[in-house]
Amino acid sequence: MANLGIFKGSTLGSCHIVEEILGEGNFGVVAKCRNTLTNKTAAVKVHKKKLKNAIEEIFILKWLHRHGSDACNIVRWDGYFFDKEKLCISFEHLDQSLHHYQMAQNAKRLSMVELKSVLHQLATALSHLHSIDIIHADLKPVNIMVVDRHQHPIKVKIIDFGLACFASQVQQGECRGTMSYNAPEMSLGVPFNEAIDMWALGVTMAELPPDDMLDCGMYTEDFFYIDDYGRSCWRFMTPHDVLIKSMLNLDPHQRITAREVLEHQLFAPSLPQSLSRHTELDVVHLPAASCEEDKDSNVQLPNRCVAAPSREEDVDFNVQTSNPHSAAPLWHEGILVEVGGILSSPREL
């Protein structure tokens, strides 16, 4: 991006050499960089405007880091630094988005084994986020990264917390996310909660098998004439179909939760099919979806939400995990001050 002075070979900060532009949007640009001090590759997100938005994203990332979120299928945040007036946020570099991975498969669809693995990993990540009061608010295939396309089954991680917010502090009428992945309550401007992430997960999973958008409205006229050449025969719904349908419940209060997805019979086929989704069961963790083995084994998914932190709270970068049930002060509206020293000096983890 010429207006940001970012191109292959340019330097961000004091030690990040740009190797490739990975993507760009309204927020700015994401570049693949090599850290000359560590000789490691990183994905650096450069904000081109609205420093307030960048600070809020860092505040969310600090909260996630404090709760060991990178161990639960969420991108690892490596810190931040300044390049002149531009605020740069550094993340681990991942292979490619789920969207591009699916496109590279051409006509080949993901197998049911792969679909189950991806779904379980995403539900694990969302269960963790929701338990610490975070709504991602922009879940979609381009914000889901494949760690290594050559690994099978593939391992995925959720990225981009630029629109994330605290569930306890959302305001009615807020509009976040991408239109075609937004839950009905978001589009209607009525109160919403973490259930919007489950709707987006349902849309995402519904897209993967057919490799097409889920009734995005582009071909509405197709529904108003008789089709004598049906593409498929009538069949019973599979457990996978039933699970996706439960994510797309129009009533957010009846929509399945991330934790309930992990307890679904799809991941425990030996369970009686008559069991209710509200039945208390132990979560069945699949190998590909479990928290990374090289992380702290004490990091566990808490069973309930915690209070959101204060905007003024100093979240210590050195704290890897904390008691997820500990209460924290409320986020005070309208306060744009130093967030844990963000504007005082660059920090790297």
Closest Cα to residue 148, out of 101, 211, 87? 101
Tell me the C-alpha distance between 11 and 17, whole Å: 5
Q: What are the residue numbers of the active site?
A: 138
User: Rounded to two decimals, what is the model's pTM?
Assistant: 0.75
Whether residue 33 is predicted with pLDDT greater than 60 in this model: the reply is: yes
For CA atoms 65, 52, 163, 27, give the dihedral sign. negative
Q: Is 86 labeled as ligand-binding?
A: no
pLDDT tens-digit readout, 115-139: 999 999 999 999 999 999 999 999 9
Whether the pLDDT of residue 247 is over 80: the answer is: yes
Single-letter amino acid code for the residue at 238:
T
CATH number (3.40.50.150, 3.30.200.20, 3.40.640.10, 3.90.1170.50) of 7-93 reads 3.30.200.20
- Tokens read off for 1: 């991006």
CA 223 from centroid of its chain's CA atoms: 33
What count of residues does the chain have?
349
- Structure confidence at residue 330 (pLDDT): 47
Rounded to 10 degrees, the C-alpha dihedral 308/66/148/205 comes to: -20
For residue range 181-199, list pLDDT tens digits in order. 999 999 999 999 999 999 9
Whether 319 shows a pLDDT value over 90: the answer reads no
Q: What is the pLDDT of residue 231?
A: 57
- Confidence band of 220 (pLDDT split at 50, 70, 90): low
Indicate where the chain has its CATH 1.10.510.10 domain(s).
Answer: 96-267
Say if CB 44 and CB 89 are below 8 A apart: yes
| Coil vs helix vs strand at 194 | coil
pLDDT at residue 332, as a whole number: 41
Torsion over CA: 281, 287, 289, 293 (sign): positive
Q: What is the pLDDT of residues 34-81, one digit of tens each?
A: 999 999 999 999 998 778 889 999 999 999 999 999 999 999 999 999
Instruction: Enumerate the CATH 3.30.200.20 domain ranges in the chain, comma separated.
Output: 7-93
> What is the reported pLDDT for 27?
82
Distance between CA 248 and CA 257 in Å, rounded?
Answer: 11
Check residue 93 and give its pLDDT: 98
CA 216 from centroid of its chain's CA atoms: 21
Tokens of 149: 């396309």
**Residue 5 has what pLDDT?**
82
Contact of 181 with 139, CB cutoff 8 Å: yes
> What is residue 349's predicted lDDT score, i.e. its pLDDT?
61
**HEC assignment per residue over 269-321:** CCCCCCCCCCCCCCCCCCCCCCCCCCCCCCCCCCCCCCCCCCCCCCCCCCCCC
Domain range 96-267, its CATH number among 2.60.40.10, 1.10.510.10, 3.40.50.850, 1.10.260.40: 1.10.510.10
Rg (CA), the chain: 21
Distance (Å, whole) CA 81 – CA 59: 14
Residue among 146, 142, 96, 92 at smallest CA distance from 288: 146
